[in-house]
Amino acid sequence: MRLRRSSARVIKKKTPARPRSFTVSPSFIAKLRTNESADWSRATSTAILKRFKDAYKNVSAYRHFLERLDIDPVSIRTSKDVKRIPPITKENYLRVHPWEKLCVAGALAEEPLVLTATSGSTGQPFYIPRTDEVHDSSMVFHRLFMERSGLDPAKSTLVVVAFGMGVWIGGILTYEALRRISEHGWPLTVITPGVNKKEIFEALTHVASAYEQVVLCGYPPFVKDLIDDAPEHGIEWKQWDIRIVCAAEAFSEHFREYLMQKTGMKDPYRSVMNIYGSAELGTMATETPLSILLRRLALKHEALYRKLFSEAHRLPTLAQFIPDFVSFEAGTSGEVYATGGTALPFIRYDIGDQGGVFSYADAVRMCTEVGIDLIAEAKRTGIGDTVMELPFVYLYERADLSVKLYGAIIYPEHVKIGLQNPALEKFITGRFTMTTEHDAKHNEYLEINIELQRGVKDGEPIQAALVESVVKSLSASSGEYQNNHVNMGDRVFPRIVFWPHGHPKYFHPGIKQKWVMSS
């Protein structure tokens, strides 16, 4: 008798994916509110040690990296030993090893992943796989902002995600964070037009009138564009209770005040949040009401500014981080190292930013040393209920994003301050690209290409006032520039080139602004 072959399919049993290392839970949220500064300091070193051991165990490229540098992982046992872990960079690690070897063994086959790419601003794009753990941690930061912002969860809320979509992390990660918030009891309507102004204004025209609250998420210059251009489309921001979420670059307190004045927002500590994020690690840290308060106090008190920040002539972004997600350390030469990651771990990653790290206890102490009671100031400004003793990280524009003019370093943020002049803002958007050039006689000069407001045809009427404002800002920010100005006069004055609004050479609509151009 002939045996029939069974029609049932044989299913090969897959190795189950490893359990996720983090789950958002009520106890975790409670820990954010109750942990003290010392607890978070211990959590930082503990998190780095754990991720280091996991990477050595599960990532073949990281084992090879340590072996090549003759580092014995067994000798890395305590928080003091963490400083002996060699930092990784794109050059010494990420671009040295095959991409799949940089990932946790089995992750590419066993875990649901999302790929995003770096912008490629420092080389070829690099692709980062991430798990839901990154989405959940971003959700926590965004949820904290929503709770502290003064928005009412019982009122209808429209969220406009105006970050770039596609392979870049900003738009997709923001969407995922907001979707999770909505699933956990805060009803939100989310629309994702990305950096498409036409789609944004159409949505605000046709559906936003049904909502009482609007949250606008986008790159700072693009958000400013939207706010400035809205009246031409019949949109009045003050009809809604507005909040703003920004990311990808620093901005000044003057810029924050400008956004508030144009939209009718009232509270400088709760209304606008800037995110410190990256394609590699997602949402790494965010501004909080406390960090904004501390930054504004530093601007009023020079002694505090000098205690808090390593470079007194530059204004950094100041944010708080959650060590369970991403941990930060300061390097010996002003580098900032970040440790985190999921399918592709980053251990003491030199992310390319300059800055520093200090604890909540350090912040309180430094304020006390200059006669400021930080806790009393928090209560006075009405943000006492938002204070968490999380550690702080501060960051300047990337170290490679500057130009030199007769030896003086010119940073974009100093030019931004010069352009943020109420007398000029009707003529210019605030977006620019600067470069150092040479004339026919080989004299060096600073060229600043500036975008005109929509409908403005000529910047000549404000050229002299603009040059004066920029020179004043640069002189106040840089002793070297001021000395050159005294000795060289108008040879260090910037040469201004005006461009029509949205001109593709420097101001292509919808892309991240490039503030510095190599000459």
What CATH number should be reported for the domain holding residue 480?
Answer: 3.30.300.30
Boundary (domain end) residue, out of 344, 361, 395: 395
* Same domain (yes/no): 300, 448: no
- Give first-to-last CA distance, the chain, whole Å: 85
- Burial bucket for residue 461 (CB in 10 Å: 0-12, 13-18, 19+): exposed
* Same domain (yes/no): 347, 480: no
Residue at token pair 């030993």 = 81
Which two tokens mark 3?
């045996």
CB count within 10 Å of CB 214 equals 22
CB count within 10 Å of CB 428 equals 22
Confidence of residue 19 (pLDDT cuts 50, 70, 90): very low
On whether the CB atoms of residues 269 and 383 are closer than 8 A, the answer is yes
CB count within 10 Å of CB 479 equals 11
- Dihedrals phi, psi of 350, to nearest 5 degrees: -80, 100
* Same domain (yes/no): 360, 390: yes
| Residues spanned by the domain of 440 | 403-499
pLDDT the model gives residue 225: 80
Helix or strand or coil: residue 467? Answer: helix
Q: Whole-angstrom Cα distance, residue 378 to residue 374?
A: 6
Confidence of residue 493 (pLDDT cuts 50, 70, 90): very high
Contacts of 6 (CB under 8 A, 6+ apart): none
* Same domain (yes/no): 139, 197: yes
On whether the CB atoms of residues 199 and 193 are closer than 8 A, the answer is yes
The mean of the pLDDT values for the chain is: 89
Boundary (domain end) residue, out of 395, 419, 441: 395
pLDDT the model gives residue 174: 96
| Bridge partners, 282 (sequence order) | 278
Confidence of residue 65 (pLDDT cuts 50, 70, 90): very high
* Same domain (yes/no): 341, 408: no
On whether the CB atoms of residues 429 and 516 are closer than 8 A, the answer is no
Helix or strand or coil: residue 195? Answer: coil
pLDDT tens digits, one per residue of 401-440 = 788 887 677 888 889 989 988 889 889 999 999 998 877 7
Which two tokens mark 345?
């771990």
* Same domain (yes/no): 385, 416: no
pLDDT tens digits, one per residue of 176-198 = 999 999 998 899 999 999 888 89
Q: Is 175 domain-assigned?
A: yes
Q: Is 187 domain-assigned?
A: yes
pLDDT the model gives residue 398: 65
7 has a pLDDT exceeding 70:
no
Least confident of 42-51, 118-127, 481-490: 118-127
* Same domain (yes/no): 364, 439: no
Residue at token pair 């019949």 = 234
Q: Is 323 domain-assigned?
A: yes
pLDDT the model gives residue 500: 93
Name the domain count of the chain.
2
pLDDT the model gives residue 129: 95
In 3-state terms the chain splits into helix, strand, coil percentages (rounded to 5) of 40, 20, 40
Highest mean pLDDT among 12-16, 54-58, 77-81: 54-58
Q: Whole-angstrom Cα distance, residue 362 to residue 389?
A: 11
On whether the CB atoms of residues 149 and 270 are closer than 8 A, the answer is yes
Boundary (domain end) residue, out of 373, 395, 417: 395
Residue at token pair 């991240």 = 512
* Same domain (yes/no): 388, 300: yes
- Which has more confidence, 310 or 51? 51
- Dihedrals phi, psi of 348, to nearest 5 degrees: 50, 55
Q: Is 169 domain-assigned?
A: yes
pLDDT the model gives residue 319: 98
* Same domain (yes/no): 283, 337: yes
Q: Give the full edge-to-edge strand order of the sheet including 428-438.
A: 428-438, 444-452, 495-499
Which alpha helices (H) appear in 211-344, and where do they start and end?
Answer: 220-229, 253-263, 289-300, 302-308
Q: Is 472 domain-assigned?
A: yes
Average pLDDT value for residue range 21-49: 87
Q: Is 69 domain-assigned?
A: no
Total length of the chain? 519
Query: 412-419 vs 463-477: helix axis angle to the nearest 10?
Result: 130
pLDDT tens digits, one per residue of 202-227 = 999 999 999 999 999 998 878 888 99
Contacts of 430 (CB under 8 A, 6+ apart): 221, 224, 255, 416, 419, 420, 451
Highest mean pLDDT among 313-322, 329-338, 380-389, 431-440: 380-389
On whether the CB atoms of residues 331 and 397 are closer than 8 A, the answer is no
**CATH number for the domain harbouring residue 263:** 3.40.50.2300
Which two tokens mark 369?
């040393």
Confidence of residue 397 (pLDDT cuts 50, 70, 90): low
13 has a pLDDT exceeding 50:
no
89 has a pLDDT exceeding 50:
yes
Would you give the DSSP letter of residue 407?
T
Q: Whole-angstrom Cα distance, residue 413 to residue 311?
A: 13
* Same domain (yes/no): 485, 370: no
* Same domain (yes/no): 408, 368: no
5 has a pLDDT exceeding 60:
no
Determine what percent of the chain is predicted with pLDDT higher than 70. Answer: 91
Helix or strand or coil: residue 198? Answer: helix
Residue at token pair 């995003």 = 116
- Burial bucket for residue 516 (CB in 10 Å: 0-12, 13-18, 19+): buried
Q: Is 83 domain-assigned?
A: no
* Same domain (yes/no): 458, 340: no
pLDDT tens digits, one per residue of 434-457 = 998 877 766 779 999 999 998 998
On whether the CB atoms of residues 323 and 392 are closer than 8 A, the answer is no
Q: Whole-angstrom Cα distance, residue 438 to residue 99?
A: 42
Contacts of 441 (CB under 8 A, 6+ apart): none
pTM: 0.81
Q: Is 85 domain-assigned?
A: no
pLDDT tens digits, one per residue of 146-184 = 999 999 999 999 999 998 888 888 999 999 999 999 998
Average pLDDT value for residue range 354-365: 96
Q: Whole-angstrom Cα distance, residue 403 to residue 415?
A: 11
Contacts of 100 (CB under 8 A, 6+ apart): 108
